[in-house]
Structure 1
Amino acid sequence: MGTSNSQPQHSMDGDSSSSSGPLSADGGSNSNANSSSQSQSQSQSSRSERLGRSLRSLVEGYSTPRPLQPLQPLIDMMMLSAARETDRAHFVVRRRGRRLLLGDDEDDDDDDDDDDDDDDYDEDDDEFEEEFSKIKSINNPETKVLDESEFSLMTKMNCGLKAERYSQHDKPPSVMKMIAQREEGMRGGSGFTSHDFSTAIHQFLPNDMTVEDRYHHKAFCGTYSQDGNWFLTACQDRKLRLYRTSGKKFTLLRKISARDVGWSILDTAFSPDGSSCVYSSWSDSVYHVRLFGDSESQDALQLNPDLSRFCVFSLVFSQDGQEILCGANEGTLYIYDRFSNQRILKIDGHYGDVNTVAYADNTSHILYSGSDDGLCKVWDRRTLSETDPKPVGILAGHMDGITYIEPRGDGRHFLSNSKDQTIKLWDVRSFSSEDGQEETRKAVGSNHWDYRWQKVPAKFRNPPPKLKGDTSVMTYRGHSVLQTLIRCHFSPIASTGQRYIYTGCAQGRIFIFDALTGQPAKILFGHKACVRDVSWHPYKPEITSTSWDTIVARWHHRGWYEGDDDDDYDDEDSLRVMESSDSSGGSQSMWVRRNPRREEGERRCTARLKRRRDNRGDN
């Protein structure tokens, strides 16, 4: 099928009419400021610069790590940020055999029991905080089913939280105290556990925006590879862009011109090994692209639809990379086999367009699909047949079409984002009854609005009671689902224990919900138009967003990159060899950037720890 010149029925050509302004910049210097305030400002700037450089020196010099090793720079960042935001100057960062003392305070008095030093962290501007508080005040979700669910118990275990009822008002543990306990050997080991990472990250959610790239057309898709080393975007200019994510800024590695694009590239997916990707549009085929190597070869994967106008809205690889699952218009699902190079299944599964598909877990046996008919269906790949396609079960409760499904990866839970302006959490062991399915069909059939250009109906703005037969575990509200198929995701298990649910918004915001309370933990303001896709780095507390304002932005905790000036480290004299121990008990050498302040801090740190040991021996 050739490129479609007419506007398809499932997309909208226009910028967001409802938007929020970008974060306002800090004001300029005050000409009436006295000399003491200027001195204080210079001191704070100098401290931030030193901390930023120290952080970069900790992270750099390490090759692609094993699965658990990328977590270590995360806790380093949290320690550094905690120091920047408090008046404490002395604390120790331990990094694979290295110790680093930060700060210039000469006072040796220890006061590690003060929990208030690191409880405060930077917030957005006052106007945005006021709106954030307003959203939270009107969003008072019922959590009874959630509190009694297996999801709540497992999430608390992953995050190191207590098994009893969790409250968003609970005071988070002091990161400074956690560091002190680690140094004293009081945390059951020589380092932080995954629970410690997840517990601490709650205080260091992304809150600062960095523009990584700006296009001339709307950005539709953006996702990290499984290892976090690459970021792939798709834009309405019919281009795929691949970025290297290491370093302070993304590095554009390759720009690929897509083929046979109608309207825009609508979805992309990395292969499990990250060496290739697939993309889809209003076209009879999806395209497979090899991302590395000298040639930019693209293969058309023919789905052979029976429709004159055909579009794949969603696609995903199986875990072994052999099959590609596609969701398309007119209620159909397709499975393409890469080894035989042919479509092997076509399933008429829904009464509306299939906007989203997903595999439940790494076995790739269980499939999820979501449609404009408002239903989420669960399929067993091993029993699927074209002649008699029957789902394993159906989950009903939304009042409008489904825009996206995100599996948790445990084979039991998944999220669904909907045009009824809600995200729902589901447990596939609790299917909906026939009556519940009929209630959803009636609710969807009663809608007479088009989410692409009309305002949200009043019945969705004022949260209605749950539909009869709604078997969802939890419902999350506050974001806006308009204009396009906006995505939602679980936060990574490695760094957050999947405690958060995050999504884009038609008003240019990014919502980070606390999955255990239903309340927004953070709302990020900065984009001027619809944020269609968001992706959380697998190991770092960073979210990258792609928006219809043409911007690709990376969100991180304020202070992560402050003070990093690569121009100061361009000569050979700025490097030194560092010996460090590896996980097997051996040692390895590496080049690290030299920092005289850091080296002096290490010497002072060693002397200080020796004095502590001597004092304990005397007692």
Structure 2
Amino acid sequence: ATGLQLVQSYSDSDEDSDGAWEGRLGDRYNPPGETQISLSRTFHFLPNYVSHRDSYQQKAFCGVYSEEGNMFLSACQDQNIRLYDTTKGRFSLRQTVKARDVGWSVLDVCFTPDAQHVLYSSWSDYVHLCSIDGDSENHTALDLSPDERRFCVFSLAASTDGTEILGGANDGCLYVFDLEQNKRTLKIDAHEDDVNAVAFADSSSQLLFSGSDDALCKVWDRRTLREDRPQPVGQLAGHRDGITFIHSKGDARYLISNSKDQSIKLWDIRKFSPKEGLVASRLAVTQQNWDYRWQQVPQRALKKHKLTGDTSVMTYRGHGVLHTLIRCRFSPEFSTGQRFIYSGCSTGKIIIYDVLTGEVVSKLSGHDACVRDVSWHPYEDNIISSSVSETSLLRSAFIQIQHAGGFVIVALKHHHQFPSGQRCQV
């Protein structure tokens, strides 16, 4: 399609190079005096060696490890959902499921907590649930019954007990589907624009996070939430453009948001934004007159100074957010103490930030164009990146892939040491 070719041409432009993203760090975060950093005598390493694992004929939109790291789930524009066995260092295709009722592409996937089923969404009124073993009788369409004729769930999350599914959609609403009752139990008019990201704050599944193209993150409490009068318990303002992804630290306190304003922000939900912050953020969004899907980032969009009322703890700059809803996440607790934030990038790299300093500590190459999704193994030192590029040259491995959209796995090498027990208690 012409539009896709145009996106590719911008991704390969000279302006979309390393140099275009240099020198954009946000304010340095000085942790409070009570912040504790524990050290261990053993050391782990940041991933820095690229090796190819698989490639597809079309674009890879999603890729995520299971909670235990023994499986990897990938979704591609070819409408296939692939499940890989990653136990004991393996990376072998275990199963391929043909996705149903797909419009454009599968846009998000997630495992259920018991890792017995996977969920996926697309441009459709339904979220789909299918069993890992591929039993067609257990491939179920979950009707969200939206009011919009053209409807899409951009982001999915499963509750810790596996009974509920949370979704964020293009109609600005949050949806909760109860699997035991087999029906939608909640629809919340949450944002003024597309809801691109949702997450549960912690294992209790009582607090919900949402992020939208209106540039706001909102925090919702299920215990006080009413569908007829939905009120968030707080809002987080400071981004100048739409939010593409959010990730919770899992402690019901901190989260990060990735944005089309080319930054990641760290938030503490104990400090919500005042009214003037919400006004400033909304005004900044209305002044954006470029389209991140196919245009290059204008210089005016790269302002560093904080908006009035910005209550973010830290801002991270050094990656590109173009073409698609690029994801960012906290690094794993077990191997890094969540010391890092890592993100996909429109330049085809994985960018890793130090949570405390905001500095870019590693840039991992491997794709020739946009990396949409990234997933760090919960216990091992590797990251898998999923790319929407049409060709990919894995320079570190000297392997050329004619039809990428595939993903590369970044494996362990003996560089970039850091104490495995070093934790960031921001």
TM-score by length of 1: 0.62
Tell me the distance in 1 between the aligned counterparts of 2:412 and 2:137. Answer: 36
Alignment of 1:115-130 (within 5 A): none
Q: What do the CA deviations read for 1:423-480 (whole angstroms, capped 9, x no partner)?
A: 000000000011110000000011111110011121233x331000000000000100
Tell me the distance in 1 between the aligned counterparts of 2:189 and 2:213. Answer: 14
- What SS class does the counterpart of residue 382 from structure 1 fall into? coil
The equivalent of 1:452 in structure 2 is 293
The equivalent of 2:199 in structure 1 is 358
> Displacement, 1:210?
1.1
Q: Does 2:80 match 1:239?
A: yes
CA contact (8 A) 2:10 2:295 kept: no
The equivalent of 1:543 in structure 2 is 383
Alignment of 1:160-559 (within 5 A): 160=39, 195-197=40-42, 200-201=43-44, 204-292=45-133, 295=136, 297-461=138-302, 463-549=303-389, 550-558=405-413
CA contact (8 A) 1:139 1:519 kept: no
Identical-residue share of aligned pairs (%)? 52
Tell me the distance in 2 between the aligned counterparts of 1:212 and 1:15. Answer: 25
The equivalent of 1:16 in structure 2 is 8
The equivalent of 2:396 in structure 1 is none
Give, as a single letter, the amino acid of the residue that structure 2 aligns with 1:551: G
> Displacement, 1:15?
5.1
- What SS class does the counterpart of residue 272 from structure 2 fall into? coil
Provide closer, same or farther for how the CA distance between residues 13 and 222 of structure 1 changes in structure 2, counting only shifts above 3 A.
farther
CA contact (8 A) 2:345 2:372 kept: yes
Give, as a single letter, the amino acid of the residue that structure 2 aligns with 1:261: V
- Which of 1 and 2 has greater Rg? 1
> Displacement, 1:409?
0.5
The more displaced of 289-298 and 228-237 is 289-298
> Displacement, 1:292?
2.2
Tell me the distance in 2 between the aligned counterparts of 1:537 and 1:449. Answer: 36
Provide closer, same or farther for how the CA distance between residues 17 and 196 of structure 1 changes in structure 2, counting only shifts above 3 A.
farther
Alignment of 1:54-73 (within 5 A): none
Output the aligned Cα RMSD: 2.2
Instruction: Provide the aligned length of Structure 1 versus Structure 2.
Output: 397
TM-score by length of 2: 0.89
Match of 2:35 among 149, 153, 168: 153
Provide closer, same or farther for how the CA distance between residues 196 and 383 of structure 1 changes in structure 2, counting only shifts above 3 A.
farther
Gapped regions of structure 2 (runs ≥ 5): 390-404, 416-426
- What SS class does the counterpart of residue 483 from structure 1 fall into? coil
Tell me the distance in 2 between the aligned counterparts of 1:515 and 1:238. Answer: 36
Give, as a single letter, the amino acid of the residue that structure 2 aligns with 1:454: Q
> Displacement, 1:149?
4.1
The equivalent of 1:98 in structure 2 is none
CA contact (8 A) 1:212 1:553 kept: yes
Match of 1:142 among 17, 27, 31: 27
- What SS class does the counterpart of residue 153 from structure 1 fall into? coil
CA contact (8 A) 2:21 2:320 kept: no
Tell me the distance in 1 between the aligned counterparts of 2:334 and 2:89. Answer: 22
Tell me the distance in 1 between the aligned counterparts of 2:6 and 2:79. Answer: 17
- What SS class does the counterpart of residue 9 from structure 2 fall into? coil
> Displacement, 1:326?
0.4
Tell me the distance in 1 between the aligned counterparts of 2:362 and 2:137. Answer: 40
- What SS class does the counterpart of residue 383 from structure 1 fall into? coil
Provide closer, same or farther for how the CA distance between residues 448 and 18 of structure 1 changes in structure 2, counting only shifts above 3 A.
closer
CA contact (8 A) 1:20 1:526 kept: no
CA contact (8 A) 1:226 1:272 kept: yes
Tell me the distance in 2 between the aligned counterparts of 1:252 and 1:18. Answer: 33
CA contact (8 A) 1:314 1:327 kept: yes
> Displacement, 1:220?
0.3
> Displacement, 1:527?
0.3
The structure with the greater share of residues assigned to strand is 2
- What SS class does the counterpart of residue 174 from structure 2 fall into? strand
Give, as a single letter, the amino acid of the residue that structure 1 aligns with 2:187: K
- What SS class does the counterpart of residue 330 from structure 1 fall into? coil
Give, as a single letter, the amino acid of the residue that structure 1 aligns with 2:362: K
Tell me the distance in 2 between the aligned counterparts of 1:330 and 1:420. Answer: 22
- What SS class does the counterpart of residue 288 from structure 1 fall into? strand
- What SS class does the counterpart of residue 356 from structure 1 fall into? strand
CA contact (8 A) 1:233 1:242 kept: yes
Moved over 6 A (4+): none
CA contact (8 A) 1:329 1:352 kept: yes
Tell me the distance in 2 between the aligned counterparts of 1:502 and 1:539. Answer: 16
Tell me the distance in 2 between the aligned counterparts of 1:216 and 1:544. Answer: 18
Give, as a single letter, the amino acid of the residue that structure 2 aligns with 1:518: G
